[in-house]
Amino acid sequence: MTFLSSRRAAGGTARATLLGVPYDATASFRRGSRFGPGAIRDASQSIETYSPRLDRDLDDLAFTDGGDIDVDGLDTAALGAAIERASPPGLPFLLGGEHTITLGAVRAAARAHSDLTVVQWDAHTDLRDDYEGARVCHATVMRRILDDGRPLVQLGIRAGTKAEFELARRRSLHCAQDVAWPPDLLDTVRGRPLYLTVDIDVLDPGEAPGTGNPEPDGASYAALVDSLRSLAGARIAGMDLVEVAPALDPSGRTPIVAASLVREMLLLFAT
């Protein structure tokens, strides 16, 4: 199954390509995000192609669904290499899978954009130097991105260690629980190539309970879409949506919320 209304663009000129990355090998608390890409595609069949909020329709957009990258049994080094190899031209849009997948995608995007800035919507800082002995995992991924020298903006953040928050205050361009953009920060990033990473747990668990490490007091769907919409017209070099774990939400609403978010991100950034 492919994502709602995706298609082969004539001559392979699709602006955006969806790629599933069904990987959750380092998940520490509750696994299941490897089933995220399939569940999001499945849920996409139940939503409309038209977004009243944006007054745009996916049917008017040439984007493709490239299926899943084969990541079965890979360690995190091989995972990163597989993602870098698979990164398509144009605008790659990865569906996780755990947050670790972002590292390979950011490194791939940075090959073409050395001044790449990363924007993270997430409940968690993900800035540990290591976690249970692992240097590359879902809890350290943003630390590795900082180590690579990438400027980082963190929105929706409400969980992490004291040391992670101290590091964020020193090294992130911005780290706040609010997902709204300070106007001066928007002016700073708008001219730069951006990589956007959305961890579904940035949303309140009431809206998206199907995720490995839910945190209370999260953003609303409307606030998240508004935050993304603030970047309309910006240069987006790549993006992802991660940490959807469908089995942890018997109501099934998390994959539907995620599919709606994928639609809005495509309509905002793949035109």
User: Closer to Mn ion at the Cβ: 151 or 156?
Assistant: 156
Q: How far is the CB of 35 from Mn ion (least distance, A)?
A: 17
Site for Mn ion in 174-203 (CB under 5 A): 199, 201
Identity of the amino acid at 76 = T
124 binds Mn ion (CB under 5 A): yes
24 binds Mn ion (CB under 5 A): no
Q: How far is the CB of 99 from Mn ion (least distance, A)?
A: 6
114: left (phi over 0), alpha (psi -120 to 50) or beta: alpha
150 binds Mn ion (CB under 5 A): no
Nearest to 261 by CA among 77, 3, 68: 3
Q: Which among 3-11, 63-71, 108-116, 121-129 is the span making contact with Mn ion, rule CB under 5 A?
A: 121-129
Peptide bond into 12 cis (omega under 30): no
128 binds Mn ion (CB under 5 A): no
- In whole angstroms, what is the distance from residue 229 CA to residue 196 CA? 12
Identity of the amino acid at 105 = A
Q: How far is the CB of 199 from Mn ion (least distance, A)?
A: 4
Q: How far is the CB of 67 from Mn ion (least distance, A)?
A: 25
Q: How far is the CB of 201 from Mn ion (least distance, A)?
A: 4
Spell out the residues 6+ positions from residue 17 whose beta carbon is closer than 8 angstroms to its own: 63, 64, 65, 66, 88, 90, 91, 92, 93
Identify the residue among 24, 68, 122, 240 touching Mn ion (CB under 5 A).
122
Give me the residues paired with residue 124 across strands: 159
Summarize as ranges the residues that interact with Mn ion (CB under 5 A).
122-124, 199, 201
